[in-house]
Amino acid sequence: MAATTNLLMRRFRNGSLAGTLVATLVVLAFAACGADTAAGTPDAIAKVCDPNATAPTYTELYTRYFAAGTHGHCATAGCHADPSHEVWLCGQTKDTCYTGMVQIGLISPSNPLASRIGDPKSSPLNWVNPGGPMPFDDPTPFPEGRDAILAWVAACAKNN
């Protein structure tokens, strides 16, 4: 041990109040060195979406992935296009589809990065979450759709 540490430890063992205080301060100082956890922990970093990020619009997502006849085909009769569908209504337009996704929590306009549609653990879309059950008739990976949805979520999940 260094001479200074030995001196402090002797004072600490002898019960010297000043030694106890100094030893405590030294221990705290060493404990604090390199313990900048807030800066090094990803959870401590504020996560905000970037409304200016390059991403497809929701109109493009709907047209390419959610409308009838597309890979996701949410807006297909017998699926989420029917008002009698028990889970949620996509409807026949991008606006009704967006509203339906908001109503069931797939999209969170107040906290876009929390939108379940882009969550790799809870999205019902197999494209984003490998365990997701949708599209029901073809729950297989679709990287193009996944990447477009994730980019759109990162750009604040707007109804644009």
pLDDT (tens digit, 9 = 90+) per residue, 14-25? 555 444 444 444
pLDDT > 60? residue 90: yes
**Lowest mean pLDDT: which of 13-17, 92-96, 153-157?**
13-17
CA atoms within 13 A on the CB side of 125: 27
Closest CA to 107 of 46, 62, 44: 62
Using the predicted structure, report yes or no on whether residue 76 has a pLDDT greater than 50: yes
Q: Report d(CA 123, CA 119) in Å as an integer.
A: 5
Phi, psi of 11 (to 5 degrees): -65, -40
Q: Which residue has the higher pLDDT, 3 or 110?
A: 110
Structural contact between residues 94 and 62, judged by C-beta atoms closer than 8 angstroms: yes
Residues 97 and 81: their CA atoms lie apart, in Å, by: 9
